[in-house]
């Protein structure tokens, strides 16, 4: 790992293989069998060098994007919530009608990690921060939660249903993966 200054954390456990992962705030993590020699870990790191460098660069980009986002004030968040309470349930109703679905209560929440959720009672929770996302991303989250009314999991059938309604959903999902953490980082507190 000569090209990077990232530290490597080695975690040994009762496992049979070596795995390498990149974690924000933790860097490179190697999970290795208890008796695995250090030279074998170095060999695997060298073999995966390009992959590690690529993913470290992506992680740094995401972290820089998050740091560049100004935190909202509580007043701004309150205004955003009012807007979300007016617009998101209306848009959810549009998609539910189009999909022939009925849902229970809709709640707008200030969540740090989730964009939405759907309960077994058919109640749908939506994140206020969706209002800072492009319309197609909002629609993807709404359709995603509505599809849980048919499939309460993320099985192949679930994703086929999402794709049937929104054939281009992967673009919105990719946008969330790339930009979502920066949007959520704007939430105060």
Same domain, 78 and 64: no
Is the distance from CB of 9 to CB of 26 less than 8 angstroms? yes
Distance CA 174, CA 171 (A): 5
pLDDT tens string 13-66: 999 999 999 987 788 999 999 999 999 999 999 999 999 999 898 888 777 767
Is the distance from CB of 158 to CB of 146 less than 8 angstroms? no
pLDDT score for 2: 42
Mark out the alpha helices in 31-168 (DSSP H runs). 38-47, 49-68, 74-99, 135-147, 156-165
**Taking the model in full, what pTM does it have?**
0.71
Q: CB-side exposure of 154: number of CA atoms within 13 Å? A: 2
Same domain, 53 and 107: no
Decide if pLDDT at 3 tops 70. no
Question: Which residues constitute the domain of residue 41?
Answer: 8-68
Share of the chain above pLDDT 90, in %: 77
Which of 22-31, 77-86, 121-130 has the weakest average pLDDT?
22-31
Mean pLDDT of the chain: 92
Q: Which two tokens stand for residue 137?
A: 């991303």
Decide if pLDDT at 1 tops 60. no
Same domain, 114 and 44: no
Same domain, 80 and 170: yes
CA-to-CA dists, residue 69 to 38, 90, 181, 187, 189, angstroms: 40, 29, 10, 10, 14
Residue 114: give its domain's CATH number: 3.30.2010.10
Distance CA 130, CA 115 (A): 7
Let me know if residue 1 belongs to a domain. no
Q: Enumerate residues 6+ apart whose C-beta is below 8 A from 178.
A: 62
pLDDT score for 63: 78
Is the distance from CB of 36 to CB of 13 less than 8 angstroms? no
Angle in degrees, CA 117, 118, 124, rounded to 5:
85
pLDDT tens string 132-165: 999 999 999 999 999 999 999 999 999 999 999 9
Q: Look at residues 42, 68, 94 and tell me which one is the last residue of a structural domain.
A: 68
Q: CB-side exposure of 106: number of CA atoms within 13 Å? A: 19
Is the distance from CB of 22 to CB of 51 less than 8 angstroms? no
Decide if pLDDT at 124 tops 90. yes
Q: Look at residues 16, 48, 68 and tell me which one is the last residue of a structural domain.
A: 68
Let me know if residue 62 belongs to a domain. yes
Count how many domains the chain has: 2
């Amino acid at each position: 790992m000569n090209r990077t200054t990232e530290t490597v954390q080695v975690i040994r456990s009762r496992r049979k293989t070596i795995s390498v992962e990149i974690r924000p705030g933790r860097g490179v993590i190697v999970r290795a069998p208890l008796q695995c020699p250090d030279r074998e870990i170095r060999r695997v790191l060298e073999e995966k060098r390009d992959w590690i460098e690529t993913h470290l660069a992506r992680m740094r980009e995401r972290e820089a994007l998050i740091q560049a986002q100004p935190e909202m004030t509580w007043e701004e968040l309150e205004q955003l919530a009012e807007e979300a309470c007016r617009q998101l349930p209306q848009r959810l109703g549009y998609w539910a009608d189009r999909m022939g679905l009925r849902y229970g209560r809709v709640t707008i929440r200030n969540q740090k990690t989730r964009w939405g959720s759907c309960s077994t009672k058919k109640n749908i929770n939506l994140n206020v921060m969706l209002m800072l996302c492009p319309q197609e991303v909002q629609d993807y989250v709404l359709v995603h939660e509505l599809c849980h009314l048919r499939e309460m999991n993320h099985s192949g059938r679930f994703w086929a249903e999402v794709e049937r309604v929104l054939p281009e959903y992967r673009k919105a999902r990719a946008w969330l993966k790339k930009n979502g953490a920066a949007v959520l980082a704007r939430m105060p507190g």
